[in-house]
Amino acid sequence: MTTLLPPAGALDIVIFGGTGDLSFRKLLPALYMAHLHEKLSADARIIAIGRQDWTHDEYLAFIDSHSPAFIDASAFSASDWQHFLARLTYVSMDVMQGDDYARLKTLCSQPALRVFYLATAPSLFTQICARLSDAGLVDAQARVVLEKPLGTDLASARAINTEVARYFGEHQIYRIDHYLGKETVQNLMVLRFGNAIYEPLWRAPYIRSVQITVAETVGVGSRAGFYDGAGAMRDMVQNHLLQLLCIVAMEPPISLDADDVRDEKLKVLRSLRKMDLADIKRDTVRGQYTAGASEGAAVKGYLQEDDVPAGSRTETFVALRAHIDNTRWANVPFFLRTGKRMQQRQSQIIIEFADQPFSIFGTAASHEPNRLIISLQPEESIHLEMMVKEPGSGMKLHPVKLGLDLQSTSDKRRAEAYERLLIDVVKGRLTHFMRRDELEAAWTWIEPILAGWKALDDKPRSYSAGTWGPAASSALMAREHLSWFEEA
């Protein structure tokens, strides 16, 4: 369902948590780019809400000193930046106090399309929505954006969804996962469903395995207070990695309508094979980084990070093998992996095609499987690995890559993920946001694994910062006679 802008085009983007890292690192730089490229109406305003007892000028000084570092230097203009800052209004308020919302209402345009972005702890979502409604700020035009992770388990996710639904209709709720705003992720839909060459092969038995890796070189930094209660499974697997898995594995939707696309993703999540304790022990690996070297510098281990409790067993790395029980993916293993303080920052999807049933080149010939390598970051590209003959006598083979550099395929500007998704919210496009039943299906699969780790008293395996994680993750692949892409 698409809701149009009011005739006057008035737009208020209200950011709860307006002084936080997400706001000054991602949201405001994204909105600056939207402003720069005239994707915001002339009278669109950004109202930032924070707990700090700052004046408006003090807030602008804070943003002016922090956000420009996260904007592409080639796009930054001092004059454009000042025009953008003129859109900002800062409100110091206690989000638990109803009286403060009456003051907020006096600052909002009447009438206007209002986007409420909740860049706060999920525990505050329901209280904020209730108080917005009590203040008369929620109407048919209003939209609310919920940051991940939404809850810590199935019960808490359901509770948040139920409470938010008391004030906003499902078509007004945007559960954001910024990975779904990446150009390459959206291009994956076109790669799969817009090219006849892949669809006949995009299934068992033609695909041998699928790898999905989201690796970070950073540690927990200032997020330790949040992260230690979440861990890599809740912070990354439950949302980012499962969403990527859905796009790789889904059936063709009947249209690009939001619900048609999300119906197919939901089917994938419901088809994930549930794990029992034996499966969890065999097919999952938890890790926690220790001191080492990252990007040429010595770094602390997780247990030495500020605000991490002594003896914490929170995982900073997860690798697991999953199976989708349907006809398309029967017996095809999906390997998911994510971690902090890993050797390289990269997000990749590796589609490994099955070997030919018989090779005329014999077992002595050098041979690698065909692979489709989809890189999401740091570069955005798609490569197909194929075998060719080496020059000279004989029939020695070696792999080559047929490359598609997505950044060079068009001279049009490529918006960053948050910018693209924020504009989607303004325009009422729900396709790249999670629906309630989709989120709850993801938790339904994840929760038994978390419970299994607890029942098994599974202590995370150590890995040195700057490596690719515990050796057990390589063993997980080796049991299938496979290896992670960087080890191949």
β pairing state of 333-339 and 207-215: parallel
How far, CA to CA in Å, does 96 sit from each of 23, 89, 99, 134, 168?
A: 20, 20, 9, 12, 19
216 is in an annotated binding site: yes
Q: What is the pLDDT of residues 29-86, one digit of tens each?
A: 999 999 999 999 988 999 999 999 999 999 999 999 999 999 999 999 999 999 999 9
94 is in an annotated binding site: yes
Q: Note if 240 is an active site residue.
A: yes
β pairing state of 346-353 and 371-377: antiparallel
**Structure tokens given for 260:** 């048609």
Q: What is the pLDDT of residues 434-466, one digit of tens each?
A: 999 999 999 999 999 999 999 999 899 999 999
Cα-to-chain-centroid distance, residue 256? 20
User: Distance between CA atoms of 22 and 25, rounded to whole angstroms?
Assistant: 5
- Residues with Cβ within 8 Å of 362's Cβ and at least 6 positions away in sequence, in order, are none
Q: Catalytic one among 35, 240, 323, 432?
A: 240
DSSP H helices, 108-241, are 125-134, 154-164, 183-193, 224-227, 231-232
Phi first, then psi: give them for residue 383, nearest 5 degrees.
-130, 145
401 is in an annotated binding site: no
182 is in an annotated binding site: yes
Q: In what order do the strands lie in the sheet with 113-118?
A: 88-92, 45-50, 11-16, 113-118, 143-146, 173-175
As a whole number, the mean pLDDT across the chain is 91
Does this chain's domain 11-147 share its CATH topology with 180-248+274-410+463-487?
Answer: no
148 is in an annotated binding site: yes
> Which of 15, 219, 21, 10 has the alpha carbon at shortest distance from 118?
15
178 is in an annotated binding site: yes
**Beta partners for 399?**
387
Domain definitions of the chain by residue range: 11-147, 180-248+274-410+463-487
Q: What is the pLDDT of residues 185-235, one digit of tens each?
A: 888 888 899 888 888 899 999 999 999 999 999 998 878 888 998 999 999
Query: Which residue's structure tokens are 């926690």?
Result: 288
The 3-class SS string of 383-431 reads EEEEEEECCCCCCCEEEEEEEEEHHHCCCCCCCCHHHHHHHHHHHCCCC
**Class assignment of domain 180-248+274-410+463-487?**
alpha beta
- The CATH code that applies to domain 11-147 is 3.40.50.720
Query: pLDDT tens digits, the chain, 488 residues: what are they?
Result: 444 444 446 899 999 999 999 999 999 999 999 999 999 998 899 999 999 999 999 999 999 999 999 999 999 999 999 999 999 999 999 999 888 999 999 999 888 899 999 999 888 999 999 999 999 999 999 999 998 888 889 999 999 999 999 999 999 999 999 989 988 888 888 889 988 888 889 999 999 999 999 999 999 887 888 899 899 999 999 999 999 999 999 999 999 999 999 999 999 999 999 999 999 999 999 999 999 998 889 999 999 999 999 999 999 999 999 999 999 999 999 999 999 999 999 999 999 999 888 777 776 555 678 999 999 888 888 899 888 888 887 778 888 888 877 666 667 778 889 999 999 999 999 999 999 999 999 999 999 999 999 999 989 999 999 999 999 999 999 999 999 998 87
Cα radius of gyration rounded to whole Å, the chain:
24
95 is in an annotated binding site: yes
